[in-house]
């Protein structure tokens, strides 16, 4: 029977790259793709050091693999995953393992876990982050599924994952769809941080007339300190790039209408279902949606003008202010996403360990950032920490930068430049740190018009008033 350590279905860029990454780490690998060219091109990579086989035939593919078989699917989320599963099922045997490495919706994974576990197949949903380069040279991987079966996958995944101080950016996260859920929230945080960066770029450019080179330098310098992160790093690189045709900065020639595949929206949708407030992520999704109404925006821009201005600040002072505010916002965004994971873990019985999540997000993934080390330490100090905002060490940094955050939000309001994620992130913070909220009035209103009853602060029980 077969001797190949690992099989990949779907030899697009991600699948191919991850498989080559495994081959570089001395695992023998087989790939299946209906496209004969892709299968052949994978096999061309085989040599004395790399044991690689490509095929277009499902039965042959299964026979190539060592038992219990470890197979990963890297095909588009949705129906393609189900059809690949159905095409392989007749050849699989009890104990075989299937790992869906795409951005699948977590409820789909729950269904597949049930269906396949009933047939004796161990099914995993695993988020993979880091794009094409990550897959080739070290992604962050977020697997969830049957813990016993993970031992078969562990050596391969730990070998190919990104490493931070020698520690691999992969770990078994939890049961059923835990891996897809963690990846979904990863993407929600990704949306919010990207929007935060975009707002910073916008206000510095439109509000303070920063030149392209100055903007680029701002992000480059931020990437050296406490804001060090992949998204800040690539922003600096993007801002430097000239267009080959016009010689202008490429970014200024790109349409301002956003596209998305939907994982950010799923994060917000499910956050609402489980009552986990993540307004910064919600707003980031909203802002991509608003960007789509270009014609209406052009029309409204002529109807509503605003000539307000904020106080005059030197470029140096603005940069310093925004640097502090950015740190504040960044931490508060992660705090929301990670609190969602804590709530989801209870709701769905995932058994997540947030210290481990912070650990595997430190490298390889799109939201990797220096500050993740502090988050890891916060969860190490207190496994039950409900929200990063309650960690004493992080609180020191937030308190230090709180004033800058308020100043920056005021600047956006005065200048009439949308800084929605900055604004809502500060509101989340202010609500979270409010001992009292005006929800007493909302409770009274509900009771007034709908007899929905209310609770009192001075007596036990449920009350209704004839208002």
| Active site amino acids | 183, 190
Q: What is the CA radius of gyration of the chain?
A: 25
Give CA–CA dist 415/303, Å, rounded: 17
Reading the block at residue 400, the tokens are: 């230090």
Kindly state the smallest distance separating residue 80's Cβ from ligand 6PG, in Å: 15
Interface residues for ligand 6PG in 220-279 (CB under 6 A)?
260-264
21 binds ligand 6PG (CB under 6 A): no
65 vs 232, beta carbon nearer ligand 6PG:
232
Kindly state the smallest distance separating residue 300's Cβ from ligand 6PG, in Å: 25
140 vs 420, beta carbon nearer ligand 6PG:
140
Name which position in 8, 193, 215, 365 contacts ligand 6PG (CB under 6 A).
365
From the list 73-81, 125-133, 152-160, 305-313, the region that binds ligand 6PG by CB under 6 A is 125-133
DSSP H helices in 308-370: 315-348, 354-360
Q: Which residue has the tokens 């940069």?
A: 319
41 binds ligand 6PG (CB under 6 A): no
Kindly state the smallest distance separating residue 261's Cβ from ligand 6PG, in Å: 3
CA-nearest of 156, 45, 148 to 101 is 156
262 vs 397, beta carbon nearer ligand 6PG:
262
Name which position in 85, 97, 239, 366 contacts ligand 6PG (CB under 6 A).
366
Give CA–CA dist 354/301, Å, rounded: 44
| Host H or E run for residue 271 | helix 263-273
129 binds ligand 6PG (CB under 6 A): yes
Kindly state the smallest distance separating residue 307's Cβ from ligand 6PG, in Å: 35
230 vs 348, beta carbon nearer ligand 6PG:
230
190 binds ligand 6PG (CB under 6 A): yes
382 binds ligand 6PG (CB under 6 A): no
Q: Which residues of 282-317 are buried (b: 16+ CB within 10 A; e: fewer)?
A: bbbbbbbeeeeeeeeeeeeeeeeeeeeebeeeeeee
Reading the block at residue 461, the tokens are: 């029980």
Angle formed by the axes of helices 392-415 and 420-432, nearest 10°: 140
Backbone angles phi, psi at 457, to 5 degrees: -85, -15
Binding residues vs ligand 6PG (CB under 6 A)? 103, 129-131, 187, 190, 260-264, 365-366
């Amino acid at each position: 029977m077969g001797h190949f350590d690992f099989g990949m279905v779907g030899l697009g860029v991600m699948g191919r790259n991850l498989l080559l990454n495994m081959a570089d780490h001395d695992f023998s690998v087989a790939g299946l793709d209906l496209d004969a060219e892709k299968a052949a091109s994978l096999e061309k990579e085989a040599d004395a050091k790399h044991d690689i086989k490509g095929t277009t035939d499902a039965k042959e593919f299964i026979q190539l693999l060592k038992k219990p078989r470890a197979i990963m699917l890297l095909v588009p989320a949705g129906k393609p995953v189900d059809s690949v599963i159905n095409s392989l099922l007749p050849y699989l045997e009890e104990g075989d393992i299937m790992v869906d490495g795409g951005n699948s919706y977590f409820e789909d994974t729950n269904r597949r876990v049930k269906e396949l576990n009933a047939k004796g197949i161990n099914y995993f949903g695993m988020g993979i982050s880091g794009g094409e380069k990550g897959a080739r040279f070290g992604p962050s991987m977020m697997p969830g599924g049957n813990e016993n079966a993970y031992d078969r996958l562990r050596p391969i995944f730990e070998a190919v994952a990104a490493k931070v101080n020698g520690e691999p950016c992969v770990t078994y996260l939890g049961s059923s769809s835990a891996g897809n859920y963690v990846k979904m929230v990863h993407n929600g945080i990704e949306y919010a941080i990207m929007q935060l960066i975009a707002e910073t770029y916008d206000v510095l450019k439109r509000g303070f007339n920063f030149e392209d080179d100055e903007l680029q330098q701002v992000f480059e310098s931020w990437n050296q300190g406490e804001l060090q992160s992949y998204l800040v790093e690539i922003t600096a690189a993007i801002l430097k790039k000239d267009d080959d045709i016009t010689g202008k900065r490429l970014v200024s020639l790109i349409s301002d209408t956003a596209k998305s595949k939907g994982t950010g929206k799923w994060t917000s949708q499910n956050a609402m279902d489980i009552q986990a407030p993540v307004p910064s992520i919600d707003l980031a999704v909203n802002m991509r949606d608003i960007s789509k109404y270009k014609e209406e925006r052009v029309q409204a821009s002529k109807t509503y003008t605003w000539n307000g201005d904020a106080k005059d600040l030197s470029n140096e002072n603005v940069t310093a202010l925004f640097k502090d505010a950015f740190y504040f916002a960044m931490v508060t965004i992660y705090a929301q996403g990670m609190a969602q994971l804590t709530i989801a873990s209870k709701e769905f019985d995932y058994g997540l360990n947030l210290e481990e999540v912070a650990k595997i997000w430190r490298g390889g993934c799109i939201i990797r950032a220096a500050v993740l080390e502090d988050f890891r330490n916060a969860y190490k100090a207190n496994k039950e920490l409900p929200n990063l905002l309650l960690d004493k060490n992080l609180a020191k940094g937030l308190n230090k930068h709180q004033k800058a955050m308020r100043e920056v939000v005021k600047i956006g309001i005065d200048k009439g430049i949308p800084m929605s994620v900055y604004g809502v992130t500060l509101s989340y913070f202010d609500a979270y740190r409010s001992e009292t909220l005006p929800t007493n009035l909302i409770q009274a209103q509900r009771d007034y018009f709908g007899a929905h009853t209310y609770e009192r602060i001075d007596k036990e029980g449920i009350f209704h008033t004839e208002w």
